[in-house]
Amino acid sequence: MSTIETKSVHTATMEERIIRPKVMPVYQSSAFSFSSLEELEGYYEGNGTYLYTRTANPNTDALGQTVAVLEGAPRGVAASSGMSAILAGILAVVRSGDHVLAAEDVYGGTFHLLKEELERLGITVHFADFAQLSNVEQILIDYPEVKLIVSESITNPFLRIEDIDVLAQLKKHYGVKVMIDNTFATPYTFTPYGQGADLVVHSATKYLGGHSDVTSGVLVGDEALIDEATKRVVNLGMNLSPFEAWLTIRGIKTLALRMEKQTANAQAIADFLQDKARVWYPGKGAIVSFELPESADVSKFFSSLGWIKIVPTLAGVETTVSYPFGTSHRALSAEEKQKIGVNERIVRLSAGIEGIEDILEQLALAFD
C-alpha cells in the first residue's frame, strides 16, 4: 500500500493478533470477511459461524446463551426488543390457521400484539382468566387448534403468579407448547423452563439490562423451537445490534445484586402502603402495584413524587412509577381495561436500589 487513501482504509484491519481481553469486546461489524472462496463456501456448508450481523454476531450469540444458562435452557436467541422476542417465540410454534390461548392479564403490548397483529396472519387468539384454570382447560377442549399457551410468570400490572406447573400438565395432556414471559420475575426468582415451559421470553430492556439504557429481548427454550425462532429473527429483521447486546450482558453481571436490593425495597414499600392504598405485591420481585383511594387527586399524586420519575417502563436502578391506564394498557378498550381491573387510580411502582428511607419519605410526601 502506497497511497494515503488506501492506508487510511486498510491499515487498522490488516494485523491479526491474539488478544485476550478480560471483557468480551464489541464486535461492531456489519459483516465478516473470508480469506478465500473456499472458506466462504465452507460457511454455507456449516464450517463457519459468522457471515453478516443480521444472521449472527458474537455479541448477540453470547447474550442468547447467557440467558439460556441462567434459565436452565439449552439455547437462546437475542432480538431487538421484548416484543420482537415474543413474536419470534409465537411464530416458532404457530402458523396461519392455528390458535393461541393467552392469559387476559398479560402486558398491554403483548395483548395488543396477540389481538391486533396475529389475526392479520390468520392466527386466532383466545383470552382467558388464567386464575381459573378450568377456563384454560375448557378452551383447550373446545379448540383443538390451539398450539400455544402464552402467559407471564408474574403478570403485569397486578402481579398474579402463574401456576406454571399446572400449565405444564395441560401441555402434556393436550399436546400444546407453553411460552412464559419471565421479565418481572427474572431468573433470580423463577426459572419457568425447569417447571415445564417450552419457551421463556424476556424484555431484556428491563431487569436483565437493568440501567434503562438499552432496548433488547431474549427468547430461550427447546433447541428445535429456538432454531425456528432464530429463522424468524433473521428473516423478519428482528436482530439486535452488537453494542446493545454487549450492554445487556454488562447489565446481567449485576442482576443478582440488583434484584436482592430491589426486592427488599419492594417488600418494604408494600408494607408501607398497606394502610394508604389497595396493594398488590406477591412477596417476589421488585414491582409493587397499588390503587389510590377514590378520594385521591391522581394527577396531584403523580406530580408530587419529586425525584421518583414517571416513566412508561420499569426495572432501572432508580425507583420509578408508571401509569398503566395511560401507557402500557392504553390500547385496551374501556371494557377490556375494566375486565382486568385497570382504572385511572392504578399505579405501578418499580423499586430501585436507593436507600429505603428516602423512597418511603418521598412516597409519604406524595400521599400527604
Does pLDDT of 16 surpass 70? no
Does pLDDT of 14 surpass 60? no
pLDDT of residue 26: 95
Examine the fold and report which residue of 252, 284, 312 is the final residue of a domain before the chain moves on.
252
pLDDT tens-digit map of 215-245: 999 999 999 999 999 999 999 999 999 999 9
Does pLDDT of 10 surpass 90? no
Range of the domain at 228: 37-252
Residue 232 is part of a domain; what is its CATH number? 3.40.640.10
**Mean pLDDT, residues 185-198 taken together:** 97
The answer to whether residue 95 is domain-embedded is yes
With vertex at residue 280, the alpha carbon angle to CA 345 and CA 296, rounded to the nearest 5 degrees, is: 25
- Mean pLDDT is lowest, of 38-42, 314-318, 339-343, for 339-343
**Mean pLDDT, residues 92-106 taken together:** 97
pLDDT of residue 19: 81
**Mean pLDDT, residues 86-104 taken together:** 97
282 and 190, same structural domain? no
Strands (E), the chain: 75-79, 99-103, 124-128, 146-152, 177-181, 199-203, 217-221, 278-280, 287-291, 309-310, 320-322, 346-350
**Mean pLDDT across the chain:** 94
Full strand arrangement of the beta sheet holding 99-103: 75-79, 217-221, 199-203, 177-181, 146-152, 99-103, 124-128
Number of domains in the chain: 2
Instruction: Report the distance separating Cα 296 and Cα 131, nearest Å.
Output: 30
**Mean pLDDT, residues 345-353 taken together:** 96
319 and 273, same structural domain? yes
% the chain with pLDDT above 90: 85
pLDDT of residue 328: 72
240 and 97, same structural domain? yes
pLDDT of residue 311: 94
Residue 180, strand partner residues: 151, 200
Residue 326 is part of a domain; what is its CATH number? 3.90.1150.10
Does pLDDT of 22 surpass 80? yes
Examine the fold and report which residue of 252, 271, 292 is the final residue of a domain before the chain moves on.
252
140 and 112, same structural domain? yes
pLDDT of residue 325: 84
pLDDT of residue 292: 96
pLDDT of residue 213: 96
**Mean pLDDT, residues 72-76 taken together:** 98
**Mean pLDDT, residues 317-337 taken together:** 84
pLDDT tens-digit map of 117-130: 999 999 999 999 99
Cα–Cα distances in angstroms (integers) from residue 200 to residues 77, 153, 222, 227, 295, in the given order: 11, 9, 10, 14, 41
pLDDT tens-digit map of 255-310: 999 999 999 999 999 999 999 999 999 999 999 999 999 999 999 999 999 999 99
Contact 177, 91 (CB under 8 A): no
H-helix or E-strand spanning residue 7: helix 4-14
197 dihedral zone (left: phi>0; alpha: psi -120 to 50; beta): beta
The answer to whether residue 328 is domain-embedded is yes
